[in-house]
Amino acid sequence: MSPVVCPQGHTSQATDYCDVCGAPLDAAAPAPVATPAASAPSTCAHCGAPAAAGALFCENCGYDFTTGSLPVPAPPPATPATPPATPSSTPTPAVAAPSPGPAQSAPTPVVPAPAGLDTPPPAGPDQWVAEIWVDPDWYAVQKPEDPIPSPGPPALVPLRERSVLVGRPSVSRNIHPKVDCGADSGVSRRQCQLNTDGQRWWVEDLDSSNGTYVSRVGDPIPTQPIPPGQRRELQDGDRLYVGAWTRIVIRKALPDEV
C-alpha cells in the first residue's frame, strides 16, 4: 500500500489515521514519490578532472559538486622564529697578518716650485749686482729741497732673485724692497722692478711718482723717464736714476763681490 500524507503534512502508512499526529486520513492524498537525485557530473567543472558517478567532491581539487564551491585552503603553518645566534664562548684566535716584505722605494716625483719673487734665477755664466750711489749731478738736475747726503762709497746689492723690487721700505704697507734707496724721499715705495731670465735683465717702472730714468755708460743724464708698465732691457753697466739723488748701476759682479 502506498503511504499517504495527512492534513498536517505527515507521511503515514496507515490510511485511516496519521501514524504521527492521529489526524483522520479520509481525504489524504498519497505521498509524492521521491525523485532520485541527479547523478554527479562526469568531469569537474573547476579543474576538468574525471569524476566518478555519484561523487560529491572532486578528488583532484576538492570542488563541491553539490554547492559548486571550492574548499577553503588551510592557513599555512607558522614559521618558528629563528633564535639569534649565540656567540661562541671560545674566542676565535686572531690570524696574524703576514709580515710585509722589504719596502720597495718608489722614486719620488719632483714637483717644480712655482716661480715667485724669491725664486733664484736660472744658472747663468755671470752674477749681477746693483750698485747704489748718491749722484751729485743727478741731484743738481732735480733741485730738490732736501739737502744731499755725503756721497760715500757705493752700496752693493747682489741680485740673486728672479724679480727684485727697487724702492723704499714701509712697515705699515709691508713693503720690503731688495734694493733699498734709503733716505731718498723722492723714491717711491714701489719705484721699479728688475727682472731676469738668468742672462739678461729688464727694468719696469711701477707708476712711480717721479719716474725711472735709464742711460747707457758714458751718456749724459737722461731727461725723459721710461713709460710706466713697459719693460726696458738693460745692458751691463746701465744706470738707473730715481728720486732726488739716487743712481743705481746694474752690472756684472766682480769675482770678489759675490
Residue 95 lies in a domain: no
Residues 61 and 132 in one domain: no
Domain count, the chain: 3
Question: How far apart are the C-alpha atoms of 9 and 11, rounded to whole Å?
Answer: 7
Residue 114 lies in a domain: no
Question: Residue 243: its pLDDT value, please?
Answer: 96
Cα 223-228-229 angle, rounded to 5 deg: 145
Containing structural domain, residue 62 = 38-72
- Cα dist from 185 to 100, 167, 222, whole Å: 68, 10, 20
pLDDT tens for the chain, 258 residues long, are 677 788 877 787 777 778 778 778 765 455 454 444 444 457 888 888 787 777 777 877 887 777 777 776 655 656 655 555 554 545 455 555 555 554 555 555 544 444 444 565 555 567 999 999 999 999 999 999 889 999 889 999 999 999 999 999 999 999 999 999 988 999 999 999 999 999 999 999 999 999 999 999 999 999 999 999 999 999 999 999 999 999 999 999 998 887
Residues 215 and 168 in one domain: yes
Q: What is the CATH number of the domain that holds 214?
A: 2.60.200.20
What strands lie across the sheet with 179-180, from one edge to the other? Answer: 179-180, 163-167, 192-196, 201-205, 231-234
